[in-house]
Amino acid sequence: MSSPTVLRRTISVVGLCTLPLLVAGQNPGTPPPVSEVEAIRREMQQLREDYERRLQLLDQRLRQLEQSTPVPPVTAAVPIAPVTPVPSTNVVVLPPDSVARTAVVTREVEQVNAAEKVREFADSEFAENTSTRDYALSLENRRTIKERVEQVLNDFIEIGGYFRAGYGRDDQGGPQVAFQAPGAPAKYRLGNEAENYGEIIFAKNFYTPGLFSADPQERPDGTPAGPVSRVQVRLSIYNPYTEYGSSSSTQFGLPEAWGAIGNVLQGQPGLTFWAGNRFYRRFDISINDFFFYNMSGGGAGLEDLDLGFGKFAFAWLGGSSQSAFYNSVPQPEPDDLAAFSKGNFDFRLYDTSLPLGKGEFGFTVSRASAGLDVDGRTIPSQTGVALNFVHTAEKFLDSESINRFSLQAGNGPARTFTSTFETFTTPVGTFIDPGGSDSWRFRATESLVIQPIPELAIGPAMVFQHTAFGEDGGGGEQDWFSIGVRPVWFFNRYFSTALETGIDWVSDSQQDTSGYLWKATLAPQISLGDHFYSRPSLRVFVTYARWSSEFIGQVGGPDYVTDDWGLTYGVQMEAWW
């Protein structure tokens, strides 16, 4: 008799013999009270019918197993041993072929787990979590539920990106325009982005060739002893609403194309070396998309040298562009171009423990120079230095809260806190500001995201910046102060409403102007989650802005050339992954 048949009959006999005892809930021979006999009898009959129905389903399943797993015939040379009753246990004895299949599956699971550990090690080797989107994605990656398709793709090639797209109108009948204070480097972005913009990332981690060999050379913790490498390419797309859908007005860029190799020094497994063009340890404020510390550019360097009390990174980064010389005599000629270049030596000490969080200290030496124009003219090279401090506190109020505070000071070409140049616009054209050595800037920022209750998340921000342009920059000073907040109310897991309001005040002695721009946006939205950074989001919005009379003609373009207020409305999708 086959094993499934014996098992089926055993279950049936044991179940039917013990069912009355289980139903009565008492020892044999102790009948229930007379008043309960009828009720118990009906209950027992119902349970018996249910139990028999379950036995029928189990019987069908066992018959299927008998058909799919035939028992090899027993030859006469092998005596048939008598069946000995076995006490009931929790051990299930599998046929030999099932044992073999289980062993194979176990080995496959172990191999998958080992590969997953190596992949996680490689991801951590090249982890980036300084910018808002990187931080938000790192939160998503820590969650236990992931899309299976994405896991498969990550094992082959990683595809990430960011996109925002939609359309809007203004109250004058034209396409949506952005409201930004003249001289302010940033604007509050919700319902105030008048363009389609996207980035798509293709990245691939490479492991040591011997990883999947018989001797993979792993450490005791399962991480590879050999090198790991990463190659990443990022494409950007930009299309303004004023030229909506026009291919000739759509700009494509290549902001990232770099490679890195890590785990090459036994004593420093986290140390990585890189070269190419990349986003480099940049910090931003999400609600106004302001990258206050952004040395992204082309070059090379090393990262994550473990010093015990923190980590160290060094990079040589730079950028170049073309512009006319603004101080040309007798007047600037915008079409008479020369090549400007800027090189930066960037030193970082980060992941240092500080009260309430961690700190990052940066020291940058920048040098800007220019080539010759068609008349053989040039300008003197300029050198400057910058000091940067960023304090980051994560999970200090809730599981996803983050607070960042920064202080920055720099002079000359280093005062931009970027690897490239700033520009300025005059009635005759736009020119590069190489940053005279006597110019300087001080900046302080504070940004916070908290979710004190499940129904409410809040993201406030503040920026103060003072710039002295120096004699080489035409003299004068500029102050910029900005403060804003975006609360989001969640009605359930997917529906919410965001209200963003912010004000920018700019005083510029060069332009002899001083004024403010205030903006407010209401945006009902549907998001894939109930957190501040939950994306994708689909939203409708209405935006109202008002500005000082000093800024009339400088805000909103032709539709608002004589106005001191404006209104826009539209729809937008925003996603990152």
pLDDT of residue 3: 46
- Neighbouring C-alpha atoms within 13 Å toward the C-beta of 428: 13
- Domain definitions of the chain by residue range: 3-68
* Banded pLDDT at 219 (limits 50, 70, 90): confident
Tens of pLDDT, residues 68-105: 544 444 444 444 444 444 444 444 444 555 555 556 55
Which of 71 and 368 is assigned the larger pLDDT?
368
Which of 432 and 127 is assigned the larger pLDDT?
432
Which of 228 and 481 is assigned the larger pLDDT?
481
* Banded pLDDT at 433 (limits 50, 70, 90): confident
Task: State residue 357 phi and psi, 5-degree precision.
Answer: 170, -145
Cα–Cα–Cα angle for 57, 59, 61, rounded to 5 degrees:
70
pLDDT of residue 66: 57
Distance CA 434, CA 423 (A): 8
Dihedral of the CA atoms 23, 27, 29, 35 (nearest 10)? -50
Distance CA 487, CA 489 (A): 7
pLDDT of residue 403: 96
Which of 51 and 246 is assigned the larger pLDDT?
246
Tens of pLDDT, residues 258-268: 999 998 898 89
In 412-474, where do the E strands start and end? Answer: 422-426, 429-433, 440-453, 456-468
* Banded pLDDT at 22 (limits 50, 70, 90): very low
Q: What is the mean pLDDT of residues 212-236?
A: 76
Residue 546 identity (one-letter amino acid): R
67-76, 263-272, 544-553: which range is least confident on average?
A: 67-76
Task: State residue 199 phi and psi, 5-degree precision.
Answer: -135, 135
pLDDT of residue 139: 65
Distance CA 449, CA 394 (A): 10
72-86, 106-120, 186-200, 486-500: which range is least confident on average?
A: 72-86
* pLDDT of 178 above 60: yes
Q: What is the mean pLDDT of residues 482-505?
A: 98
pLDDT of residue 140: 63
Of all residues in the chain, the percent with pLDDT exceeding 70 is 75
Which of 21-35, 199-213, 545-559 ranks highest by mean pLDDT?
545-559
Residue 473 identity (one-letter amino acid): G
The residue assigned the tokens 């994405």 is 150
What average pLDDT does the chain have?
82
How far, CA to CA in Å, does 451 sit from each of 139, 276, 489, 522, 530?
14, 38, 10, 19, 10
* Banded pLDDT at 394 (limits 50, 70, 90): very high
pLDDT of residue 88: 43
* Banded pLDDT at 157 (limits 50, 70, 90): confident
pLDDT of residue 71: 45
Distance CA 166, CA 217 (A): 51
pLDDT of residue 355: 95
Distance CA 23, CA 47 (A): 8
pLDDT of residue 68: 54
DSSP string across 236-247: EEEEEGGGTT-G
Residue 314 identity (one-letter amino acid): F
Q: What is the mean pLDDT of residues 299-318?
A: 97
Q: Both tokens of residue 276?
A: 């190419």
Give this prediction's pTM.
0.74
